[in-house]
A = this chain, B = another copy of it.
Amino acid sequence: MSVLVVGSVALDTVETPSGQVTEALGGSATYFSLAASLYTAPIHLVAVVGDDFPSQGLAMLRDRQVDLRGLEISPGKTFRWIGRYGEDLNTAETLATDLNVFAHFDPKVPTEYRHESVVFLANIDPELQLRVLEAVDRPRLSAMDTMNFWIASKRDAVTDVMRSVDLVLLNEAELRQYAGVSNLMAAAQRVLDLGPRAVIVKKGEYGCAVFARDRYFAMPAFPLQRVCDPTGAGDSFAGAFMGSLAGSSFSWDAMRRAVLQGCVVASFTCEAFGVQRVLGLRTQDVERRLQQLLSYTQIQSAREEGLDHAVQNAAKA
Enumerate chain A interface residues (CB-CB to B < 8 A): 87-89, 182-186, 203, 205-207, 209, 216-220, 223-227, 253, 256-257, 260, 294, 296-301, 303-304, 307-308, 310-311, 314-315, 317
Contacts and interface: CB of A to CB of B under 8 A. Distances in A.
Nearest to A307: B307
A12 to B, nearest CB: 23
A220 to B, nearest CB: 4
Given A203-B206, A301-B298, A304-B301, A218 B223 contact: yes
A217 to B, nearest CB: 6
A296 B185 CA distance: 13
27 contacts: A87-B182, A89-B182, A183-B224, A183-B225, A183-B226, A183-B227, A185-B223, A185-B225, A203-B206, A206-B206, A207-B218, A209-B223, A216-B223, A216-B296, A217-B296, A253-B299, A256-B299, A260-B299, A294-B301, A297-B297, A298-B301, A301-B304, A304-B304, A307-B307, A307-B310, A314-B314, A314-B317
A84 B296 CA distance: 36
A67 to B, nearest CB: 32
A99 to B, nearest CB: 32
A220 B219 contact: yes
Contacts of A314: 310-311, 314-315, 317
A219 B223 CA distance: 12
A152 to B, nearest CB: 19
Nearest to A176: B88
Contact of A311 (B183, B206, B207, B311): B311
A218 B203 CA distance: 14
Contacts of A87: 182
